[in-house]
A and B are shown apart, each in its own frame.
Chain A
Amino acid sequence: MQTTIMADYGDRKIKDAQMRASINQKLVETGEKERLKELLRNKLIESGWRDELKAHCKEVVRRKGLEHVTVDDLVAEITPKGRELVPDEVKRELLHRIRAFLAQQSNI
């Protein structure tokens, strides 16, 4: 019993990964990914997210010293805050766009 559940779970994981890969491929192929990136970039700038996060990064760099901070350190430190600060409106719009795109794609 235990093993079959595990097998199912493993199965699903593989299927999910395949699905993710084929969605990604479609997004890249059609150029939709670039457009979404552009949209997201602009929305984040407009909402002030970028400025806020930039200020936060500067703070981290100042605290640690320019020579002692790597991009990875910075990413690790600001990611939680960065995620939290993304306005719900931006998330909603992106989600909406992605949904609409997937609805158009019949062969995934």
Chain B
Amino acid sequence: MSLSGCPHVAAFKKSKGTKPFRIIQAFFVSCSSVENVKRKARAGSCHVCQQCNQRLHACLTCVFFGCYTMGHIQDHARSTKHNLAVDMTHGTVFCVPCGDYVYDSEFEQISQEERLNCSKFHGSSVQGFSAWEATGYEIELLRRNPTRKKVSGSSTIGLRGLINLGNTCFMNCIVQALTHTPLLRDFFLSDKHHCENERSRDNCLVCEMTRVFQEFYSGIRSVHIPYRLLHLVWTHARHLAGYEQQDAHEFFIAALDVLHRHCKGHNGASGNNPNHCNCIIDQIFTGGLQSDVTCQACKGISTTVDPFWDISLDLGPSSSSNSAPLPVPIIVPTPLPDFSLDSNSSGSSTSSSSLHNGDSGLMSPPGFDDVPHSLDDCLRRFTRPEYLGSSAKIKCSVCQNYQESTKQLTMKTLPLVACFHLKRFEHSSRFRKKISTFISFPHELDMTPYMSTHRRANGLSHHPRSNRTTTSDNQYSLFAVVNHHGSLEAGHYTCYVRQHQDQWFKCDDALITKASVHDVLQSEGYLLFYHKRILEYE
């Protein structure tokens, strides 16, 4: 096996060039026209035994197809001295005298081009997967740095304690969660950030995060001191400066915001549209939240979609907020005068009874006792329609009147990493307190029920269940949990992170200990980080 071909290939190319190879590729390996496909289907069988599934090869010198397993192509080559044959499935070149497949860079190039044409012709949406090939520069780097590290299942690489620099556990726990976000790790470890501004490099949080990730995954096990990171956070998010206790969620959002702003410098082109940014933070954390405001008079729906980085979920009884859950009477008798204005009903036959059925099922599920006990409860509450109250009249975009309305939030698009913030700290004008009730959360989460497509189908159409598809696209896995211990006045943050699929560790500032899934799921979660299980091709 050699990468530089063999003497037979060299001799062939000298006398006949690469044209015969290209013709065979285009006509019989990677067809890119209807006639070629038909011809391949008709003629693609062994000239000796007529079989078509015994590793068919085509002679590169004359028109002859023979199978490899039965030795027909080899027999042909020996009797005619036609040395080379092309595998008709994979397009590789077999040299009969050498007794092996040979690789020639020119041939490889041609076969790749034809394959591309072929996949275009067959209209595959994805360009398929192309393996990483080291460039000259990368080969040089690998040569100069001969040490290799193999990461095994029991490796502790990636686990590092962080020194508490004075009430900075709010930062440490978020750094732990971020460094264990697989997509973010891949981004930073592959040096994908190209800082534009040479001079302000010391001032760039993305550059600092790159350093932090490289520290974490360097294999060093001693404690890391994140003083530079803290300093940068202080300079860029002034409200977090000082040695006071801070909220981890606030820090998380501030960190994403600063990272997002510092990424912008080099993603220039996308900077002009604030809602569509291509930076790594937005690629990973941004989802789209759809808000449907339904006018109670004309049933017209106005829809807006806003980007979000996290979802904050209420834990208290919903009567404490001013938006009470919808009592049933609101949807009942009012006969709908204007069906034609209902932009979203699937047809004019929408009867009030079908609306009633759908809505009541959504709004007051039997046995739903107001205080959520699980992430599921929280999300259900988050995505149910809420009556905005008689004092909050909104101008309806359909009937142009100020009317009472209901509002429903749903997920239009899902982020790759979903962060849920359980609002355990309650600040109201009268009191401040921490809600310590246990909220259960799953290891694997299906977001399908909270999607806009699903909710709408469920609430408004006649066949609520018919188009329900349980795709694997909306499946998430838990990978980090931030916990708060103590009270509102004095507390401490720790973080559970997942490593190697199924190992969990508890990060308590400088201390890292092994934990079980059970420990994680029984903990008093404050921030829950879920990662999408299946990523689509770009």
Contacts and interface: CB of A to CB of B under 8 A. Distances in A.
Are chains A and B native binding partners rather than an unrelated pairing?
yes
B42 A25 contact: yes
Given A25-B42, A28-B40, A41-B129, A35 B124 contact: yes
A24 B53 contact: yes
A23 to B, nearest CB: 10
Interface in A44-72: 45, 66-67, 69-72
Interface in B112-144: 118-119, 121-122, 124, 126, 128-129
A79 interface: no
A31 interface: yes
B44 A38 contact: no
B101 A21 contact: no
Contacts of A77: none
Given A29-B41, A31-B122, A66-B1, A24 B52 contact: yes
Interface string B449-460: 000000000000
Nearest to A34: B122
Contact of B99 (A20, A31, A45, A70): A70
Which among A28, A66, A70 has the greatest number of chain B C-beta atoms within 10 A? A28
Interface of A: 17, 20-21, 24-26, 28-29, 31, 34-35, 38, 41-42, 45, 66-67, 69-72
Contacts of B122: 31, 34-35, 38
Contact of B53 (A20, A38, A45, A66): A20
Contacts of A72: 99-100
19 contacts: A21-B50, A24-B44, A24-B53, A28-B37, A28-B44, A29-B38, A29-B41, A31-B121, A34-B118, A35-B124, A38-B119, A38-B124, A41-B128, A42-B126, A42-B128, A67-B1, A70-B99, A70-B100, A71-B1
Given A28-B44, A45-B129, A21 B52 contact: yes
A21 B53 CA distance: 8
Given A21-B45, A21-B52, A71-B101, 18 more contacts: A17-B51, A20-B52, A20-B53, A21-B51, A24-B53, A25-B42, A25-B52, A28-B41, A28-B44, A31-B121, A31-B122, A34-B118, A34-B119, A35-B122, A38-B122, A42-B126, A71-B100, A72-B99
Chain B residues touching A, majority SS = loop
A81 to B, nearest CB: 19
A31 B128 CA distance: 16
Q: Count chain A CB atoms within 10 A of each CB in B1, B38, B53, B101 and give the residue with the most.
A: B1
Contacts of A26: 41
Interface string B437-475: 000000000000000000000000000000000000000
B99 A42 contact: no
Nearest to A31: B122
Interface string B87-110: 000000000000111000000000
Contacts of A31: 37, 121-122
A22 to B, nearest CB: 10
The 10 closest A-B pairs by CB, nearest first: A29-B41, A28-B41, A70-B100, A71-B101, A25-B41, A34-B122, A45-B129, A31-B122, A24-B52, A38-B124
Contacts of B37: 28-29, 31
Interface in B26-70: 37-38, 40-42, 44-45, 50-53
Contacts of A71: 1, 100-101
